[in-house]
Amino acid sequence: MERIDKGMGWLQKMLNLQNKYGFFSIVKGLFLLFLAGYVVFFALNPKYLLERVTTIQTEQHDNLVRSRLAADSDIRLILSKTMHNTNADRAWLIEFHNGNKNLTTGLPFLFGSMRIEETQDSIPNVDEDYADFSLSKYKLIAKVLDEGFFYGNIKDVQSIDKRLYYKFQSNDINEIALLTIYNEDKPAGIVGLSFCNNKQMDKQLVGKRIRSAGIQIATLLSQIK
């Protein structure tokens, strides 16, 4: 009976508060009291808050790494399949990223890096030749970003971009296909197919296959979270 009397007493007090201040004012007050309790708790226990933030950041990083590794594996399969279906000698993905900022404008310099490369058994890898290079150095890259693609012989490259022409020549490239991929409306990278020595490409086949690969790869990159 004593407990019931105490419960009825608290209920009567709550009803009196509701009549005096209104239901929503009471809820608001309780919420502010609850929030103040949290602020005081974290102020008195900063180590706990830091540990929680660190744990969350670590979990987010681990999830991002897992997503990245899974996407890279799928992208490698797509490139390998595209290379074999088009009889190309190399298939690769260059991703764009921001480098150091301009001291005057604060704008970042844009760089590219060949992150994934697939090659035929007799063809050497060249991905290390295209690691963290400045996009502004190559006129052909600007053309591909502007027009969305480039298919042609390296002799066609010579008249556009001599720097890249000699680089392609040193990689034994005869013909090349390049396609810009996007993340929403922003360029995210370039998918490429290289045909070495005297090999020539079937442009119609290459155009169809590289567009399909580009869509799949862009979708995978956009899903990394």
Three-class secondary structure of residue 201 per DSSP: coil
Tens of pLDDT, residue by residue over 133-162, are 989 899 999 999 999 999 999 999 999 999
Average pLDDT, the chain: 81
Q: Residue 27 to residues 6, 10, 16, 24, 178: CA-CA distances in angstroms?
A: 22, 16, 14, 5, 62
| pLDDT higher at 48 or 112 | 112
Is the pTM of the predicted complex or chain greater than 0.85? no
Tens of pLDDT, residue by residue over 79-118, are 999 999 999 999 999 999 887 665 555 556 688 999 999 9
Q: Residue 6: its pLDDT value, please?
A: 46
Q: DSSP letters of 102-118?
A: PTTT-PEEEEEEEEEEE
Instruction: Give me the pLDDT at residue 67, please.
Output: 75
Half-sphere exposure of 138 (CA within 13 A, CB side): 21
Identify which has the larger pLDDT, 23 or 179. Answer: 179
Cα–Cα distance, 93 to 109 (Å, whole number): 20
C-alpha–C-alpha distance, residues 62 and 223, integer Å = 15
